[in-house]
Amino acid sequence: HDRRAEEDIREAIPEQIQGHRVGLPQQPQAGSSSQRSSGLPPPYSLGALSYLTGAECCPGVVTRLKLVERVDLGEVAVQRRVDLFKVLSVYNFSFWFDGVAARVVLELDPPAVAVVSVRGEAALYAPEGSDPAELERRLAALGLEEDISGFLQLASGDPLLGSFAREWSGWRVRSCSLWWALVIAVCQQNASFKQGWSMLARLVRGYGRRAELEGVGEVLLPPTYRDVLSNPSRLAASGLGYRARTVIGVAEALASGRIPPEEELARAETGEGESILRAVKGVGSYTARLALALSLRRYELPPIDRWVRALASRAYGVKAGEVEAEWRRRWGRWGALAVLALTVALDAAPLRKALERLEAGRLLPEPGEVGPAQLWRYY
């Protein structure tokens, strides 16, 4: 009960500090430079966050990165029918996306960052002497080469994702490192969307790791697992609560090799990968499957939680205990992608509201909702 109360308070108090929003920030026009260096501000100050959680936006270590290469992704995106705005904006923060361009972390240690505009212009920044070809290969994180036609075909007739398949066919998952995918997944344990992503925003700001991009300015970077092991107290200061122990366990497993490098994990079967990750205390099926989807685009095993179970039970007319089997039957190798798409379609709304939207047929992201599609406008 104390843990539930603590999480409820952490979500509610910032809303009180924000007060009533008059409206959404206006999206900058293409070519505008006014928001490019820092992104849109969060709805509450860092001072307020520090007061609430004890987290400080510390100076951290600043790594200077050189401009290594410029690439135009616009033509590829058009050919592949990929909507770069959707790719760059979904599940993103204001310090990484401003409506015009995103700062995409391609590598954590040593850091490499791509500044990618919604039109497709990309500038790649890395330590001097980095291989441009290797950096270009890292742009696979944007999913431009991923063929999801099989998923869209299944989704087109689905009672949950039919509208999403028609209106959001240009969306692709923006993948990340296995470490950061595990941190994201752990922060979603027993937490609402707002709670989980608030923790992540505080975590990034709290560790304060930065890169200075040549001619652009500084960008925040996620902490590495080494950062966490050297200063674990910042996890609690970021509001992770009991999840901090699991994140530390993941960091220790990566440092010791009990979780292999993601290149090695990618060669394993998805079920074997799940078992490897689940060997870490606090990492269950939901966390492992979500991390595999976000890092390696392994979608075969769906991360089913109470939210998905209730919606699927209602939409598919099956008992709650039958949902995973039904989900895997319907979606096959696309199960985890379907779960991610559902969170976007319904703005990851609290369950009661999500069920109401399902009944009303409101199965697309809605303006003004603080969900995955609009996260960058608020945090």
**How confident is the model over 83-140, as pLDDT tens digits?**
999 999 999 999 999 999 999 999 999 999 999 999 999 999 999 999 999 999 999 9
pTM across the whole model: 0.85
Starting from the edge strand earliest in sequence, which strands make up the sheet with 101-108, in order? 101-108, 111-117, 121-126, 62-72, 210-213, 217-220
Pairing, β 121-126 against β 62-72: antiparallel
Residue 53: what residue type? T
* 60-84 per-position pLDDT tens digit: 678 999 999 999 999 999 999 999 9
Burial of 260 (0-12, 13-18, 19+ CB in 10 A): middle
| Cα 184 from Cα 181, distance rounded (Å) | 5
Residue 64 CA to residue 379 CA, distance in Å, equals: 25
Q: What is the rounded distance in angstroms from the CA atom of residue 328 to the CA atom of residue 289?
A: 13
Query: Is a pLDDT exceeding 50 seen at residue 14?
Result: no
Give pLDDT tens digits for 276-332: 999 999 999 999 999 999 999 999 999 999 999 999 999 999 999 999 999 999 999
The pLDDT value recorded for residue 72 is 98
pLDDT at residue 2 greater than cutoff 80: no
Mean pLDDT of the chain: 88
Residue 240: CB partners within 8 Å, gap ≥ 6?
186, 187, 199, 203, 247
Q: CB under 8 Å to 359, separation ≥6 — which residues?
A: none
For residues 92 and 39, the answer to whether their CB atoms sit within 8 Å is no
Confidence band for 59, pLDDT divided at 50, 70 and 90: low
- The SS3 call for residue 167 is helix
Any bridge partners for residue 288, and if so which? none
3-state secondary structure of 312: helix
Distance separating alpha carbons of residues 227 and 239, to the nearest angstrom: 17
Q: Give the residue among 101, 44, 121 at the shortest CA–CA distance from 219.
A: 101
| CA proximity to 240, closest of 286, 200, 207, 287 | 200
Structural domains present in the chain = 10-298 (1.10.340.30)
